[in-house]
Chain A
Amino acid sequence: MSVETYTPQAFHRQAHDALGNPQIRANFRQAMDGLMGKRRDAFGDWDVETLRELGANIRLRALAKLPDLLEQLEAKCQANGIKVHWAEDGEQACEIIRGLCEARGAKRVIKGKSMVSEEMHLNAHLEAAGIEALESDLGEYLVQLNEQTPSHIIMPAIHLNTDEISDLMHAKTGTERTRDVDYLTAAARQQLRERFMAADVGISGVNFAVAETGTLCLVENEGNGRMTTTVPPVHIAVTGIEKVVEHLRDVAPLYALLTRSATGQHVTTYFNMISGPRKPEEHDGPEEVHLVLVDNGRSAIYQDDELLDTLRCIRCGACMNHCPVYTRVGGHTYGTTYPGPIGSILMPHLQGLEATKDLPSASSLCGACGEVCPVKIPIPDLLVRLRKEAVGEGRGNVAGAGAKRNRSEVLAWKGFQWLATHPGAWRASTGIAGKLRALTPAKLGPWTDYRTAPKPAATSLHALVKRHRRDAKQEGKS
């Protein structure tokens, strides 16, 4: 299967293309406006700040105890009959899952939505081994039909509008061309139903893994998560190691924050709590349940006291919904599994700063992401931190640190430092365009493609104040 390829290295070109595509612009603007409105309404009179504080603290506490909680989770899961597997990276996780499928002679896999599985390119891996992996989340299903990757972590097909979806389904599945969303949904549902029944293995993600009880929580709206985790004889849950929470009671506030932040829902249609395989007296449920815990760069993030905050994320997508950059360029432009603000602070750890060096700078630091993040991740501060790593001398904790360092820029900032710490020289240097040019050589160009350049004032504020004081003195004398 050929998947349309976007890369973080080509951010600028992809942004250029997206900005010039009226359909993409309209689809994202409309969808993001809708999602922002829904979030606002969902919190209504709630004391959002107190709830966010609570959410942040729950996540911070879980991360502080992460190694212990993971051990506890493993023990509890195993006691519940869930087999636990550990994977250092995506490759290893894919191998484990492939092995589990092959052990059952599985040929057909049905998947619930899982961003971690996207992160490790599980579908391609399984297909290479002759195992068909079919996405069952409607958005993921459409994206898969379209041979694309998700453009949003919650709404994978948000870049497509109804007409485009209708055309796609018509071309790939023979449905009628229509704008009747109910018809299209029903058709997809029918197509998927048959596949659920035929699937040998179901693979899902996890929203919260509860250490105290060994329970895997899965939040969804379409019932495909429930089908994936109950119909096939084997259920494999795959998740990043950071998804663990300490207590069952921690789940309620996080769930309340997640659904309101993501889609503006008070509750989702389905909330699944998976606590083990089918018991002898039960009539349904899988015979085997596995949990694959994936590190894939997370424990490296965990080593850094500041960057650690990245791991608080509960993947609600609110930061992208509110991001003025994401809204304009869309998810594919980032060229990474996770787009938008969370992607820009997470992907550098997964792919290294060499590949992702344009992402931390793709923000005006407007702070909208940090303002809405339900677990209060200081996203703008982390973007600045990664910028620092990117232009630093390469001694930082982040892979590829120093990737963006270049001599002329270093010299320009040294020059800025000298000037700004020598007030006499600062005052003497006239003609500000000259000063700015010294900072970013030849880079004033793009500014003037869209805006008139500001004219340096004839008299600086320093000089005006001097005159103002003189006038005041004279007035005092006369």
Chain B
Amino acid sequence: MTPLKLYPPKPDKVYFYGTCLIDMFYPEAGLDGIRLLEREGIEVIFPFEQTCCGQPAYTSGYHDEARAVAEAQLALFPEPWPVIVPSGSCGGMMRTHYPQLFAGTERQDRARELAGRVFELTEFLVHVCHVRLADKGEPQRVAMHTSCSARREMGLADTAPALLGQLAQVTLVEQARAAECCGFGGTFAVRHPEVSAAMVEDKSQAIEAAGAEHFVTSDCGCLMNIGGRFEHQNKSLRGEHIASYLWRRTS
């Protein structure tokens, strides 16, 4: 779906866009993402004025509000360095929907230029940094849930599994219907809670049935959803953002 992307050589500096969910609920995942990049010898700039990419307003149909929020983010990355986003959903918003949102406005070129240098974290680690990971953790059976936006909007079904595949002690288990949505969908979970619940129920069951001891995802929306479901049922299975998992096992 996504057009073929040409990857640049590894840069000296990158911007890091933490995303609002990480900022609010999973800040360690953001910091771990920064650490993974720094370990590759890259200087990581964290624009302090960053807030939210505007996606919740965008997908809810409030495009003027989303545009205003997006415009504030557009101004945060003046240098031509790559922008690394530890989320397929926010990355997809900036890469795909910013150009749509600003089409025909005076910000159009700027949005397009930015979209061209937005990378999802696992994508950047694999295709630009060519990281080599040395696993220091215990053996573990892990299920990977790739978010729909990473998988389909950004075309990144393989990058996170590729990273986990480098961890010698980690066995990646194959869950049924791995490509199916977990039911989060932002405001969808709020507007259609019962349908969303049926979806997360199936997803959590599939992860459990695959024999996973732990699950990993590259999007905090899915993490909140699937992890929250396990917790609600008092299951011991827990999830983690992939940045934290990679950092934890290799540092």
Contacts and interface: CB of A to CB of B under 8 A. Distances in A.
B184 A454 contact: no
B62 A413 contact: yes
A50 interface: no
A interface residue count range (under 10 / 10 to 19 / 20 to 34 / 35 or more): 35 or more
Interface string A454-477: 111101111111001000000000
Interface stretch (A188-196, A218-226, A442-450): A442-450
B65 A414 contact: yes
A349 to B, nearest CB: 16
B1 to A, nearest CB: 6
A455 B25 contact: yes
A420 B148 contact: no
Interface in A185-225: none
A324 B192 contact: no
Contacts of B201: 450
Contacts of A366: 148, 152, 180-181, 185
A19 B27 contact: no
Given A450-B200, A451-B232, A457-B27, A15 B192 contact: yes
Nearest to B60: A387
Contact of A465 (B34, B49, B57): B34
A421 interface: yes
B65 A465 contact: no
B56 A19 contact: no
Contacts of A414: 65
Interface residues of B, number: 69
B190 A446 contact: yes
Chain B, interface SS category:
helix
B66 to A, nearest CB: 8
Contacts of B131: none
Contact of A384 (B61, B183, B227, B232): B61
Nearest to A439: B56
A324 B181 contact: yes
B152 A367 contact: yes
Contact of A416 (B56, B181, B198): B56
Interface string B174-205: 00010111011111111111111111110000
A392 B57 CA distance: 12
B31 A464 contact: yes
B65 A417 contact: yes
Contacts of A454: 25, 224, 227-228
Given A361-B188, A363-B185, A464 B61 contact: no
Interface string A350-394: 000000000001111111101100000000010010111111100
Given A362-B192, A416-B57, A443-B190, A452 B152 contact: no
B22 interface: yes
Contacts of B63: 388
A453 interface: yes
Given A15-B194, A465-B31, A457 B25 contact: yes
Nearest to B63: A388
A419 interface: yes
Nearest to A421: B72
Given A324-B199, A362-B195, A460-B23, A391 B232 contact: no
19 contacts: A12-B192, A16-B194, A324-B199, A325-B199, A329-B195, A364-B184, A365-B185, A381-B100, A416-B69, A421-B51, A421-B71, A421-B72, A423-B50, A447-B193, A450-B196, A456-B24, A456-B25, A461-B23, A464-B30
Given A15-B192, A457-B27, 11 more contacts: A363-B185, A365-B185, A367-B153, A391-B60, A410-B62, A421-B51, A449-B197, A451-B200, A455-B25, A459-B27, A462-B48
